[in-house]
């Protein structure tokens, strides 16, 4: 074989080798790009999202009451009209007025005008107008968060200070709310507010179950419950 023929053959071998190498390199680069573009699951689990915090509604308009027989609360649902429990104002077959005030510094006198004989609920006139809460027209549902107030008797220095309570509705029974958190003595008559700041009930009693758990019962006032009182 001549020198020229050998040179031509060697050149063809080199070109073939370079071509194969370039093809392999191109394939490797393309495979890497393709694999990188695929969304692979992150092996690190995502943290569980924190549920949004629901702001406590304004409770400063709920009225604290002290009367002849009871220290309790009154729930204002109009400038001159409020509701509370029958057991708060009734004793010895008579009903008595309550001196009331709120955390805004407003004072008034609550006098009973209407009573529902089938439940522990009364409505009455406020001598001086106060700020009030709208009544919810929506029926509450189990699991819904609620808020109310009572007196703080944890120490002498905090006696009669406002204490805000909260819980969730366990169930609805006979137009009453059963709430999964205990209340305290003196909270009877407090507005029970939903997350929109609307009245859906008033506190009535604390319940102790057979396993010594404590829940709260509240009389429902949503919807048209108060219409016979408000529209008389």
For the chain, domain boundaries: 63-230
> How many Cβ atoms are within 10 Å of 167's Cβ, its own excluded?
21
For residue 59, which of 178, 162, 209, 140 has the smallest C-alpha distance? 162
pLDDT tens digits, 70-121: 899 999 999 999 999 999 998 777 888 999 999 999 999 999 999 887 899 9
pLDDT tens digits, 2-37: 545 544 544 554 444 444 444 444 444 444 544 454
Structural tokens at position 109: 């006198």
Given its phi and psi angles, is residue 143 left (phi above 0), alpha (psi -120 to 50 degrees) or beta? left
Domain 63-230 has CATH 3.40.50.920: no
Distance CA(151)–CA(161), nearest Å, equals 6
User: What's this model's pTM, rounded to 2 decimal places?
Assistant: 0.77
């Amino acid at each position: 074989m001549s020198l020229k023929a050998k040179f031509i053959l060697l050149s063809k071998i080199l070109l073939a080798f370079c071509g194969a190498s370039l093809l392999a390199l191109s394939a490797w680069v393309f495979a890497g790009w393709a694999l990188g573009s695929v969304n692979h699951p992150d092996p690190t689990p995502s943290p569980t999202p924190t549920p949004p915090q629901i702001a406590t509604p304004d409770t400063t308009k709920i009225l604290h009451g002290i009367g002849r027989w009871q220290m309790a609360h009154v729930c204002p649902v109009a400038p001159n009209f409020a509701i509370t429990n029958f057991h708060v104002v009734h004793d010895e077959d008579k009903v008595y007025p309550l001196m009331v005030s709120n955390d805004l510094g407003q004072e008034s006198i609550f006098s009973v005008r209407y009573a529902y004989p089938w439940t522990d609920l009364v409505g009455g006139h406020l001598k001086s107008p106060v700020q009030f809460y709208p009544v919810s027209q929506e029926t509450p549902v189990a699991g819904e968060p609620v808020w109310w107030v009572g007196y703080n008797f944890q120490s002498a220095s905090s006696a009669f200070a406002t204490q805000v309570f909260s819980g969730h509705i366990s169930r609805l029974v006979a137009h009453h709310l059963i709430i999964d958190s205990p209340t305290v003595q003196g909270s009877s008559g407090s507005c029970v507010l939903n997350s929109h700041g609307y009245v859906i009930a008033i506190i009535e009693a604390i319940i102790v179950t057979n396993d010594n758990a404590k829940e709260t019962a509240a009389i429902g006032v949503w919807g048209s419950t108060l219409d016979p009182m408000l529209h008389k």
